[in-house]
Amino acid sequence: MEHHEQPALAAPAAPHAPFSTAELTALRRSLTTGRLAMTRRSLLRAGGALAAVVGGSAALSACGIAPAGRTDAALTVDHSTAEKRLNFSNWTEYMDVSDDGRRHPTLDAFQRRTGISVTYTEDINDNDEFFGKIQAQLANGQDTGRDLIVLTDWMCARMISLGWIQPLDADRLPHARANLAAQFRNPTWDPGRKHSYVWQSIPAIIAYNAKATGGRSVDSISQLLEDPQLKGRVGFLSEMRDTVGLTLLDMGKRPEDVTADDYDAALARLQKGVDTKQIRRFTGNDYTNDLDKGDLAACVAWAGDVVQLQSDNPDIRYAVPKAGYMTSTDNLMVPNKARHKGNAERLIDYYYEPKVAARLAAYINYACPVDGVRAELARIDRELAENPLILPDEEMTARSHSFRALNPQENRVFNQKFSDLTGA
């Protein structure tokens, strides 16, 4: 895998247009109830972030920011040798925290080992919101002030296609190259992982409350949409790619190859569930309370939430549909003009050391993308090490699917239709 080769420049990508009504609606939903908006450890202050992106979008249009275009990453000067520091932007509650809540133990250990000072900022609340925050600087070939960022795969695809992400140096990533799990090695949007490495994987599966279902298992999207005993007590996620992707799989379609007709067919099936009141509502992380209480008998859920819920409620169960489940990834990338690319690559590689990856997985409970972690995680918590939601086995991995990258027009159309379905 030759990560260090410079990719050939493609034709200039189309400018990123201002957010459509559907995209702003999706953003509001994501900020207030979306993945990582609410965890059992914290509640985001979503209002300010939403105001920033809506205001920022308007400001970009009003100020006549130059259209998005490619910049030459090769012209970026790396100051890592002279400047032993690094600016790292991540999502809220996406890093291990000490018992007193004041430190990040794995980051502290990296700083002690390398002498590189890390300024760690939890300023990513939503992919589109963060894109709006740094778009103008990247479009104009300017430093964003960040050396390392974490974004979800579909947004990574957009930024790489715009030429705004630096290729990584494979020689500086020995642990990452050796230990990245096979299923993540060659995404269509970044072949060979030349620009990105996985921070965490996010499986979307089925969860149910055994007490609320009378002890019956729930293991398919068909059951969620058609079982009369679940009527009015079913939840689907407000994240389009997870809900539609799982529905497509249940219909025998591959989300990796979704067409407009496939998409419309999946929405029609979900619409029937809405019309018959089989579906109670579309949710973000706020499904956790309803599932815990039994107000929702079953729902589409994120694996990290299920792991945390099960630690408190023995009635919470999960199923990986035989038709397959959806997996998205949050990924580490170095934006163009970042001053400390070499330092960022050292940090990426550090988190692919099994002992470090195990400490992170033990705290945040998402699916770990690092091979060789099981023994290290077992030393911390044997139960977590045996949980396939955190360390998927071969059988589960074989059923993983991802939604294909959409072009800007498809993204607007698909989001608008999904917004109409959910009533957002």
Q: pLDDT tens track of the chain, all 424 residues?
A: 333 333 333 333 343 444 555 555 545 444 444 444 434 333 322 333 333 333 343 333 333 333 344 555 556 899 999 999 999 999 988 999 998 888 999 999 999 999 999 999 999 988 888 999 999 999 999 999 999 999 999 999 999 999 999 999 999 999 999 999 999 999 989 999 999 999 999 999 999 999 999 999 999 999 999 999 999 999 999 899 999 999 999 999 999 999 999 999 999 999 999 999 999 999 987 899 999 999 999 999 999 999 999 999 999 999 999 999 999 999 999 999 999 999 999 999 999 999 999 999 999 999 999 999 999 999 999 999 999 999 999 999 999 999 988 888 998 999 999 999 998 6
- Topology of domain 202-327+408-422, CATH: D-Maltodextrin-Binding Protein; domain 2 (3.40.190)
- Are β-strands 325-333 and 148-152 bridged in parallel, bridged antiparallel, or unpaired? antiparallel
Angle formed at CA 401 by CA 31 and CA 213, multiple of 5 degrees: 70
Q: Return the number of other C-beta atoms located less than 10 Å from residue 409's C-beta.
A: 10
Give, to the nearest 10 degrees, the angle between helix 240-250 and helix 260-275. 90
Residue 211: the pLDDT is 98
Amino acid at 83: E
Angle formed at CA 193 by CA 117 and CA 356, multiple of 5 degrees: 40
Residue 24: the pLDDT is 53
Decide: residue 196, CB within 10 A, 0-12 exposed, 13-18 middle, 19+ buried. buried
Q: In whole angstroms, give the CA distance from residue 270 to residue 247.
A: 8
Phi/psi for 123 (5° steps) reads -115, 20
Q: In whole angstroms, give the CA distance from residue 16 to residue 295.
A: 41
SS (H, E, C) the chain: CCCCCCCCCCCCCCCCCCCCHHHHHHHHHHHHHCCCCECCCCECCHHHHHHHHHHHHHHHHHCCCCCCCCCCHHHCCCCCCCCCEEEEEEECCCCCCCCCCCCCHHHHHHHHHHCCEEEEEEEECCHHHHHHHHHHHHHCCCCCCCCEEEEEHHHHHHHHHCCCECCCCHHHCHHHHHHECHHHCCCCCCHHHCCCEEEEEEEEEEEEECCCCCCCCCCCHHHHHHCHHHCCCEEEECCHHHHHHHHHHHCCCCHHHCCHHHHHHHHHHHHHHHHCCCEEEEECCCHHHHHHHCCCCEEEEEHHHHHHHHCCCCCEEEECCCCCEEEEEEEEECECCCCCHHHHHHHHHHCCCHHHHHHHHHHHCCECCECCCHHHHHHHCHHHHCCCCCCCCHHHHCCEECCCCCCHHHHHHHHHHHHHHHCC
Indicate if 202-327+408-422 has the same CATH topology as 73-201+329-390.
Answer: yes
Amino acid at 341: K
Under 8 Å CB-to-CB from 275, ≥6 apart: which residues?
A: none
Residue 71: the pLDDT is 52
Whole-angstrom Cα Rg for the chain: 21
Q: Is 73-201+329-390 CATH 3.40.190.10? A: yes
Q: In whole angstroms, give the CA distance from residue 253 to residue 245.
A: 9
Q: Are 149 and 89 in contact (CB under 8 A)?
A: yes
Amino acid at 170: A
- Please give the biggest Cα pair distance in the chain: 66
What is the length of the chain? 424
Residue 9: the pLDDT is 31
Domain ranges of the chain: 73-201+329-390, 202-327+408-422
Q: Please report where in the chains the tokens 């959910």 appear, as a residue.
A: 422
Under 8 Å CB-to-CB from 112, ≥6 apart: which residues?
A: none
Q: In whole angstroms, give the CA distance from residue 108 to residue 86.
A: 13
- For 34, the token pair is 């979306």
Q: How many angstroms separate the first and last alpha carbons of the chain?
A: 43
Q: In whole angstroms, give the CA distance from residue 207 to residue 297.
A: 9
Phi/psi for 116 (5° steps) reads -90, 125
Decide: residue 309, CB within 10 A, 0-12 exposed, 13-18 middle, 19+ buried. buried
- For 110, the token pair is 């990296």
